[in-house]
Amino acid sequence: MFTGIIQATGEIVSAQKKDGDLRLHVQSQSMDWSDVALGDSIATNGVCLTAVELPGNGFVADVSVETLDLTCAQYWKAGTRVNLEKALTPESRLGGHIVSGHVDGVGEVISRAPDARSERFQIRAPKELAKYIAHKGSITVDGTSLTVNKVSGAVFDLNIVPHTLQETIMATYSEGTKVNLEVDVIARYLERLLLGEKAAEPGEQTLSMAFLAEHGFVK
């Protein structure tokens, strides 16, 4: 688990195809690696990766086909800048929100504009994620815990303060940038709970207005 508070930025040193998936080498001069051990989890642009080698000032991880299909890891190459966060410990401050490191989908930056000393970003999420994104709710963008300022359909606004721009890779975002999105884990579990016994039926079960009306949630 993570908090979405970025501890350092780093760079992809190499991204080598290996038997159908990817072997990734990430390096950061600003991250404290002294307490990182083999097998530890490190969120890399919001993707939970397991350290299989520790070559100094970085780590090596294997990225599965599933992860490549569902995240921006499919676009990573040598020189790509990434946000980094070590896994949450019992002593850590929960400064952001609960983040699993399990990316739900890939979004796209559709606009960026100054807003006083901050920057206003508009990001389009995949349509299937729109129902989980709420005004003033939490969302994780490339591993960064952020507050949604406005929602219109599958498009949401973020107001990014100078500190966040300085400490993350968001300063590099422009129109067309692809980003990893993780919705609030509470929203995902709430949807599953509302399904009740229907959740045990075979196949993918999703909420609909008809289901909610049938079970008395809406009139």
Q: Where are the alpha helices (DSSP H) in 21-154?
A: 65-70
Do 165 and 210 fall into the same domain? no
* pLDDT of res. 68: 95
Number of domains present in the structure of the chain: 3
Would you mind telling me the total number of residues written for the chain in this entry?
219
14 in a structural domain? yes
Question: Token pair 């966060």 is at which residue?
Answer: 85
Extract long-range pairs of 159-167: CB within 8 Å, 24+ residues apart. Answer: 159/115, 159/118, 159/119, 159/120, 160/118, 160/119, 160/120, 160/121, 161/117, 161/118, 162/117, 162/118, 165/119, 167/6, 167/9
Averages of pLDDT over runs of 10 residues in the chain (219 residues) are 95 93 97 96 98 96 96 96 92 81 96 97 96 94 97 97 97 98 86 73 60 54
Rounded Cα gap, residues 72 and 154, in angstroms: 19
133 in a structural domain? yes
Closest CA to 12 of 72, 69, 65: 72
Number of neighbours of residue 81 by Cβ within 10 angstroms: 15
Do 180 and 110 fall into the same domain? yes
**In this structure, what token pair is assigned to residue 216?**
């008395």
Domain end call among 55, 86, 117: 86
191 in a structural domain? yes
Rounded Cα gap, residues 147 and 138, in angstroms: 5
Do 180 and 190 fall into the same domain? no
Closest CA to 2 of 76, 95, 64: 95
Domain extent for 33: 8-86
179 in a structural domain? yes
* pLDDT of res. 197: 72
Q: What is the pTM of this model?
A: 0.87
Do 12 and 49 fall into the same domain? yes
* pLDDT of res. 208: 54
Domain end call among 53, 86, 119: 86
Across the strands, what pairs with 144?
Answer: 141
